[in-house]
Amino acid sequence: MEFLRWPSCELAPGLANSASRTTLTRGVHYGENRCLADGNRSNLQSRKKRGKMTDIGKVQGAPGTRAADLRAKLQDRTARVGVIGLGYVGLPLALLCAKAGFHATGFDIDPRKTEKLERGESYIHHIPAASIAEEVKKKRFQATNDFTRLEAMNAIIICVPTPLDKHREPDMSFVLNTAKMVSAHLQAGQLIVLESTTYPGTTDEEMLSILESATLKCPVSPYTTDGSTVTAPEAKEPDFFLAFSPEREDPGNKNFQTQQVPKIVGGVNASSALAAQALYQSIFERTHLVSSSRAAEMTKLLENIYRCVNIALVNELKLLCMRMDIDIWEVIAAAKTKPFGFNAFYPGPGLGGHCIPVDPFYLTWKAREYEFPTRFIELAGEINTAMPHHVVNHLAAALGERGKTLPGARILVLGAAYKKDIDDVRESPALKIIELLGAHGALVDYHDPFVPRLGKMRKYDFGLQSIALTAETLRAHDCTLIVTDHSAVDYDMVVTESPLVVDTRNATSRVAHHRDKIVPC
């Protein structure tokens, strides 16, 4: 079998990094139909003489082919990029594409979102309206629910939800419906990239079978990669390109900007991988190729399962430490001084967010097809989902020690978002805790500076509004339960004014007075 060495694409000006510079010195730049670096030219010729490589002019990806044309457009940013699903992941990504110089079009089925965006308004707390308005004004970003406009895109990135259904099994309806929508408008030469977190096989089995038609094919074909270059057997050029690249967004994390987080890319074949690499090299500071869409899908799951399992570990150790009267936070801070072999994870009231409580079970579900029990995931899930129950039991015990009972007690839940300084309540442990408190007869209020109301959600409908955090409201409740440690909250005042504070986040660690009122949990 003949093998070709495929170079990575040249980086856009200002985004050069060492990995791709190395690649360029070794490879061919297909994007501009020219330029074998001298060293590589002789290298290539001698390899051709030895019969190990084919003439690159005759095969997929060579200058003048559909793959090369697409990569050239992606490199010089004349490509039009569409982003489907304008939520926590898709909206910042679409804006990043626009800021990188592409004409970006955001697609969403929710007309309220697209209309707001077209007016230059935001509906996500940490994305300022000004950054949207700026791109709209420059005509670099548009939002629409007219999916016929997909036909004009060169690259289409899919960022739709991948939740669990009521049986805690993958709900693939959003991804599959989107694939059908794309399929109806698919054009030869387009690149489709799935970013939604999912189980291995989604892209090259389920997406591909929907996207392929009698006339448009993208055959799965093996290739190898060292992270930046690709080696592949000679194959017919695909009609379109399909890849998976996981989103690694960490909402609210001010230490990393989205474009600084390396982008993992895996294609269903070599030319798809290279096309997706060219797209992301124009937007992100670093890309890392893997040898298939499945490896890219699994990479994202490994990252999230690693977090889920380690959080379960510290949650379990916290419960033991509480029994042994040891402060788990002090222990973690001490262990963290070790410069190698230890990564700190922190206990809390339970897992939250769209990812960590959900994604591991995508793998558990897929693993069943292989008759493989994912025991770590199941155990971690068991420990983490028990945490809200632990919090409520502990709170009831703390009230009991003060001669009160949970039924009829007034509880102020401080924080509804699943983590600090963001407005996302999806899977937030606060929701389960509010439900449990209500079921025990407690009278619950909440305060969250980022979440003005807790209206109808997929699973809950509390009909609650965030109340003001004042000395009066704190005094009017029997207990303040800290579920989310938002930075803007005055914990000094919380402890001073509350009769009792149950703290699941160590948010009161710096409060020096009235420590007898604080119950760590």
Ligand X SMILES: NC(=O)c1ccc[n+]([C@@H]2O[C@H](COP(=O)([O-])OP(=O)(O)OC[C@H]3O[C@@H](n4cnc5c(N)ncnc54)[C@H](O)[C@@H]3O)[C@@H](O)[C@H]2O)c1
Binding site for ligand X (CB under 6 A): 84-90, 107-110, 113, 159-162, 174, 177-178, 196-197, 247, 249, 251, 354-355
Active site (annotated) includes residue 321: no
> Which residue type occupies 76?
D
Q: Two tokens at 131? A: 């950054």
The closest residue (CB) to ligand X is: 87
Please, what is the minimum distance in Å from the beta carbon of residue 134 to ligand X? 21
Is residue 142 within 8 A of residue 107, CB to CB? The reply is no
Question: Which candidate in 218, 308, 321, 355 is catalytic?
Answer: 355
* Torsion angle of the four alpha carbons 40, 42, 46, 49, in this order, in degrees rounded to the nearest 10: 110
Select 251 or 267, whichever has its Cβ closest to ligand X.
251
The beta strand positions in 7-90, using DSSP E, are: 80-84
Select 251 or 449, whichever has its Cβ closest to ligand X.
251
- Please state the φ and ψ torsions of residue 246, each to the nearest 5 degrees: -70, 145
Please, what is the minimum distance in Å from the beta carbon of residue 73 to ligand X? 24
Select 280 or 491, whichever has its Cβ closest to ligand X.
280
Residue with tokens 């807790």: 454
- Please state the φ and ψ torsions of residue 461, each to the nearest 5 degrees: -145, 85
Residue with tokens 């294609």: 267
Select 141 or 223, whichever has its Cβ closest to ligand X.
141
Please, what is the minimum distance in Å from the beta carbon of residue 374 to ligand X? 18
Rounded-to-integer distance, Cα 495 and Cα 493, Å: 5
Q: Two tokens at 433? A: 């805790």
Residue 288's Cβ-side half-sphere holds a number of Cα atoms within 13 Å equal to 10
Select 154 or 162, whichever has its Cβ closest to ligand X.
162
Q: Two tokens at 240? A: 């379109």
Please, what is the minimum distance in Å from the beta carbon of residue 278 to ligand X? 22
Contacts of 417 (CB under 8 A, 6+ apart): 352, 423, 424, 425, 428, 430, 448, 450, 451, 484, 486
Contacts of 370 (CB under 8 A, 6+ apart): none
Is residue 118 within 8 A of residue 142, CB to CB? The reply is yes
* Torsion angle of the four alpha carbons 466, 472, 477, 482, in this order, in degrees rounded to the nearest 10: 60
Select 143 or 332, whichever has its Cβ closest to ligand X.
143
Residue with tokens 């959003």: 174
Catalytic residues: 355
